[in-house]
């Protein structure tokens, strides 16, 4: 099959448009590994790409999709051969390289992760970049000393992709989990994932005018940035850490050094995109083994390519719950 279906975003005088089209293999960039994409997933960054955010994508027409899992069709590198199950997350996939919202991708061999045994292609995309990022946050927090005796761990943007996987994985690992959400109708969902305490975004913003807040959190994963991020830093227990990975509310950190020099707390940066392949493989192996998530389906909203147009608007509006799983077969 030389033609395949893909979402195509085009730049027009009226703005950015998106539609499903037939594309040709020749439309794909040069690369070492051609993949028959079976599953992808919807991440916040895909919606930025699909709406022409120049911080994500500059070359149009373009197919977004920072995640892809499927079968190798052709490979010019020794590591992969026809029929191998593989996944790709991050690097330039879906940014300025045609991404997983098309049934074929062609990428450098250095981007490709062999699907670890213990994970299906489908499960790997329920996890996707969001889940990899949640796992990286926990990994780095544990390296910084977080353990199940540290106290409750706060997750912000908790019903979103990164947040929901973080709540579930932390709970499965034995942590006490508190969740910040703007969705009053999704408390039951968060409790099912393992949250034992739920805060509204307003709760999380309280005390913004104060220099320090009561020492409450044994660690935190922040996906939203801004006031909620820094308020959470001010509420960390002595010596504990916050892993910052997102900016859906704001890229700013409205704060000062006081929590760092009076409470010895740490602000940890997380990037799952340019992370070295060996480290990505290490985290994927963990997610297929000791950190394997049970009942992954409860996190997944099944989508097809035809559903993407509305799902992109929903994730931009902060309305998605869990992980949008795209079946391209
Ligand atoms: N650093 C990295 O490597 C990396 C990797 C993946 C993602 N990210 C970033 O992480 C963030 C989350 O990504 P995602 O794919 O999980 O997105 P998502 O599924 O849209 O989740 C974001 C969640 O944040 C909450 N939210 C939305 N708008 C908000 C606002 N104005 N104030 C406070 N909370 C708000 C919502 O949850 P509630 O309704 O439950 O509050 C929403 O579901 C994004 O900024 C993304 O770019 C970074």
Residue 136: strand, helix, or coil: helix
Q: Cα(161) to centroid of ligand 1, in Å?
A: 7
Q: Cα(44) to centroid of ligand 1, in Å?
A: 7
The answer to whether residue 2 scores a pLDDT higher than 90 is no
Which of the listed residues 45, 191, 223, 225 should we mutate to test ligand 1's pocket, taking the one with most ligand atoms within 8 A of CB? 223
Which of the listed residues 132, 160, 169 should we mutate to test ligand 1's pocket, taking the one with most ligand atoms within 8 A of CB? 160
Q: Cα(317) to centroid of ligand 1, in Å?
A: 10
Count CB-CB contacts under 10 A for residue 158.
29
Q: Cα(134) to centroid of ligand 1, in Å?
A: 11
Q: What is the reported pLDDT for 1? A: 66
Q: How big, in percent rounded to 5, are the helix, strand and coil portions of the chain?
A: 30, 30, 40
Q: What is the pTM of this model?
A: 0.97
In the chain, pLDDT over 70 holds for what percent of residues?
A: 100
- Report, as an integer, the average pLDDT of 201-209: 96
Domain 3-115+295-327 falls in which CATH fold?
Quinone Oxidoreductase; Chain A, domain 1 (3.90.180)
User: Which DSSP string do the residues of 87-134 spell out, in sequence order?
Assistant: EEESTTBTTTB--TTBSEEEE-GGG-EEPPTT--HHHHHHHHHHHHHH
Q: What are phi and psi of 319, to 5 degrees?
A: -100, -5
Q: Where are the domains of the chain?
A: 3-115+295-327, 129-269
- Report, as an integer, the average pLDDT of 247-262: 96
Domain 129-269 falls in which CATH fold?
Rossmann fold (3.40.50)
- In the chain, DSSP assigns E strands to 3-12, 15-24, 33-42, 67-75, 85-89, 104-107, 113-114, 153-155, 177-181, 195-200, 219-222, 241-244, 266-269, 300-303, 323-327
What digits encode the pLDDT tens for the residues 73-124?
999 999 999 999 999 999 999 999 999 999 999 999 999 999 999 999 999 9
- 6 has which bridge partners? 21, 102
Rounded to whole angstroms, the Cα distance separating 96 from 88 reads 15
Rounded to whole angstroms, the Cα distance separating 246 from 272 reads 11
Q: What is the reported pLDDT for 70? A: 98
What digits encode the pLDDT tens for the residues 122-156?
999 999 999 999 999 999 999 999 999 999 999 99
Q: Which residue has tokens 């910040």?
A: 180
- Do the first three CATH levels of 3-115+295-327 and 129-269 match, i.e. the same topology? no
Rounded to whole angstroms, the Cα distance separating 52 from 44 reads 13
In the chain, pLDDT over 90 holds for what percent of residues?
A: 98
Q: Tell me the pLDDT of the chain averaged across its residues.
A: 97
The answer to whether residue 165 scores a pLDDT higher than 90 is yes
Q: Which has the closest alpha carbon to 88: 27, 153, 32, 160? A: 32
- Report, as an integer, the average pLDDT of 218-233: 98
Q: Cα(128) to centroid of ligand 1, in Å?
A: 14
């Amino acid at each position: 099959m030389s033609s395949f279906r893909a979402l195509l975003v085009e730049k027009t005088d009226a703005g950015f448009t998106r539609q499903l089209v037939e594309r040709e293999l020749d439309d794909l960039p040069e690369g070492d590994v051609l993949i028959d994409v079976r599953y992808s997933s919807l991440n916040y960054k895909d919606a930025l790409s699909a709406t022409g955010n120049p911080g994500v994508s500059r070359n149009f027409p373009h197919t977004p999709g920072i995640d892809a899992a499927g079968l190798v069709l052709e490979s010019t590198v020794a590591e992969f051969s026809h029929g191998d199950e593989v996944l790709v997350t991050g690097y330039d996939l879906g940014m300025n390289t045609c991404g997983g919202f098309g049934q074929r991708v062609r990428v450098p061999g250095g981007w490709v992760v062999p699907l670890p045994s213990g994970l299906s292609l489908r499960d790997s995309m329920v996890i996707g970049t969001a889940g990899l990022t949640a796992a990286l946050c926990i990994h780095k927090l544990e390296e910084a000393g977080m353990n199940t005796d540290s106290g409750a761990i706060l997750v912000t943007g908790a019903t979103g992709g990164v947040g929901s996987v973080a709540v579930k994985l932390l709970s499965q690992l034995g942590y006490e989990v508190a969740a910040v959400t703007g969705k009053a109708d999704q408390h039951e969902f968060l409790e099912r994932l393992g949250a034992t305490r739920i805060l509204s975004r307003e709760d999380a913003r309280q005390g913004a005018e104060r220099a320090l807040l009561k020492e409450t959190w044994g660690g935190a994963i922040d996906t939203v940035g801004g006031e909620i991020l820094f308020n959470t830093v001010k509420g960390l227990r002595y010596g504990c850490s916050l892993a910052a990975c997102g900016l859906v509310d704001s890229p700013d950190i409205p704060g000062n050094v006081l929590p760092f020099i009076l409470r010895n707390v740490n602000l940890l940066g997380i990037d799952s995109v340019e992370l070295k392949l060996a480290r990505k493989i290490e985290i994927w192996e963990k997610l297929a083994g000791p950190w394997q998530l049970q009942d992954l389906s409860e996190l997944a909203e099944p989508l097809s390519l035809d559903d993407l147009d509305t799902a992109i608007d929903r994730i931009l509006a902060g309305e998605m719950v869990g992980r949008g799983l795209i079946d391209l077969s």
